[in-house]
Amino acid sequence: MNEQAPGNKKPDEDEKRLSRKAYERKLEKLQARLCRLQDWVKDKGLRVIIIFEGRDAAGKGGTIKAITERVSPRVFRLVALPAPSDREKTQIYMQRYLQHFPAAGEIVIFDRSWYNRAGVERVMGFCTDKQYKSFLDRCPEVEKYVVTGGIQIIKYWLEVSDEEQKRRFEARINDPLRQWKLSPMDLPSRERWFDYSRARDRMLDATDTKHAPWYIVRTDDKRRARLNVIAHILQMIPHKKLAREKIKLPERSMQDAYDDQASLKKRRFVPEAY
């Protein structure tokens, strides 16, 4: 019997998932380390791009939220571009992405990226065969130019199983609090599962390079996937904990003191319903 490598192993359906309490405890520790990474990136002027791609309902949004909720948006900058405008459609394909690339001391997270062309645009017919082939040919060259210029690129493909994607879509359909997550592309993507699989495989064959490799993340267990991604990011960007100066809160000055609450009594207040 052939054994699968740990990174390629599908989670056992009977495997016990992390409890919320255990997950939040582990997440808090990793988020504290992200804050240290943030200090290092700022201090050293690093420039990093993190790309999240994957099937619909693979958990990109939740993973990105877990990364960004305790760090500064000025360092961990999120880019989630809408469909291109008529003007942008006339530009060089990469042009609208380049303007969002990081300056010194920034980590830019792309919630979907230029790889739209290799995924949804290819499957849904939003680009021509010529445009698609040109992208696969040129993308590694562009990314090599970016990396040579001093920007680190980390690329994640989030892979959800057929059964779990079905379950998540059904949850979105049936739960009013999740229906907003259904995009116009979700249902067609479900129908064209194998088309997306073929597009994924061809994209990985063409763009999984030494200078900008792809890392696959199985996300049926969303909590473990988020923890694994954060731990991997911390490993991929070598850093050290920087010493912080001790901060002392200054005393409030009583010079020109007055009753600053009395001046608010005639103002409009939000009703305290809770």
**What is the pTM assigned to this prediction?**
0.89
Candidates 162, 49, 169; CA nearest to 112 is 49
* Distance of alpha carbon 24 from alpha carbon 29, whole angstroms: 9
Of 83, 51, 47, 46, give the one whose Cα is nearest residue 64.
Answer: 51
- Under 8 Å between Cβ of 27 and 66: yes
Tell which CATH classification among 3.30.70.141, 3.40.50.720, 3.40.50.300, 3.10.20.90 matches the domain 18-240.
3.40.50.300
The angle formed by the CA atoms of residues 152, 158 and 161, to the nearest 5 degrees, is 165
For residue 129, the 8-state DSSP code is H
From first to last of the 274 residues of the chain, give the pLDDT tens digit: 344 444 555 444 445 779 999 999 999 999 999 999 999 999 999 999 999 999 999 999 999 999 999 999 999 999 999 999 999 999 999 999 999 999 999 999 999 999 999 999 999 999 999 999 999 999 999 999 999 999 999 999 999 999 999 999 999 888 887 887 777 777 888 899 999 999 999 999 999 999 999 999 999 999 999 999 999 999 999 999 999 889 999 999 999 999 999 999 999 999 999 9
